[in-house]
Amino acid sequence: MLDANGIIYADTNRPDEIGMGWESARYVDPDTGRKSVAVIVRLEEEGRLIKVFAPACFSVKDIAHKPAMLEALLGVCWRTKLLQFEFDDSDGEIRAMVEWPVEDGAVTFAQLSRAIKAIVILLDKYAEVIVKAGRTGVISWTDESDAKRALGLALLRELFAS
């Protein structure tokens, strides 16, 4: 499915997942400092659940205002339909993710594409609010410019254009 659609991916160190990278407009990977999002596609529960996620897209390990950052992450979940965040309290890792049950069905390219696009585009849209909350303790949804709102509308149009 990915090969047929020209998606470049690589095996990871796990037999049940593959990885890929996507350019971003504003989101900056905290590990590399580049405008890109690493995305992992993993099968869980013996292939009955698919999980698409951006590992370590944020961290609260050395964040001055951890509660505000976590609140901002929850605010993103409230404002979006697909994106969720996972928090590993052992090391502070935050993952952006979309998951859904496959059960006895099949995953389509449209489903997988929508999950990947949602992660990349929504990280772009909300990274500034999340990072600012962690640095300053201020959660400001009104700081979004017209360009950011346009990005959200573009996502909606792209997701529903088929």
**Could you tell me the CATH number of the domain that includes residue 24?**
3.30.1460.10
Domains: count for the chain: 1
Q: Which domain holds residue 59?
A: 3-160
Rounded to whole angstroms, the Cα distance separating 22 from 25 reads 10
The string of DSSP letters for 92-116 reads: TEEEEEEEEE-TTS---HHHHHHHH
Short-list 135, 37, 136, 31, CA closest to 93: 31
Record the tokens describing residue 3, joined without a space.
Answer: 């090969």
Encoded tokens for 134: 């962690």
pLDDT computed for residue 149 by the predictor = 65
For residues 54 and 122, give the distance between their C-alpha atoms in angstroms, rounded to a whole number: 12
Say how many C-beta atoms besides its own lie within 10 A of residue 120's C-beta: 22
Element at 70 (helix H, strand E)? helix 66-79
Starting at the earlier edge strand, list the strands of the sheet with 93-101.
10-11, 17-23, 36-44, 49-59, 93-101, 84-88
pTM of the model: 0.83
Helix, strand, or coil here: 76?
helix
Mean pLDDT by 10 residues, the chain (162 residues): 79 93 94 95 94 97 95 94 94 96 91 95 95 95 62 77 65
